[in-house]
Structure 1
């Protein structure tokens, strides 16, 4: 008894264009290699810190960085004092002051 499917090839499908090399699975990295990488990163960072500490800065550079740090701290403390409700309220006031030119036009029927 011959079936209508006797001429069909059986097995996995093949890609066109040549050899069908099996796909290699990636090996999982061991925890030892992770520890080695972390240790290497720490050593590299410590070397960079030593290099940066060896470079001496001028008086003007030190003052500039100090003032910059103070201004940043002021900005952070100012932003931390406002609650979300206050920020939303300020944003709404700002939007109310804008002209109708900035309004989003209605699109579609209605």
Structure 2
């Protein structure tokens, strides 16, 4: 396949529907003067001075995933689309209807009902006895 098949593919980050994460703009560092440039040269040769940042720092990522998630939650979450809203509403209605029809049962009641159903089945469904005992 020639490489021209892939020329239509768009590059860049994926975009989410609904909302966006506000990225903090990086502050521009002031241009070093002659005096401070000598200190940066010394720091460049000293590996201990360069690794002063925490080891969990990722240099290529402007916002960590945890921080981005916190920003979305603090902002009230992302906005849902109309289809997502309809889906949530139908799901909630189905759950309410099912609870009205079946009623609320405790675990003990569910187990008793299952045992009653299993006891009513024929021997064909019984587990065969295998091995000693």
Give me the TM-score of the superposition, normalised by structure 2.
0.37
Higher relative contact order (CA 8 A, sep 6+): 2
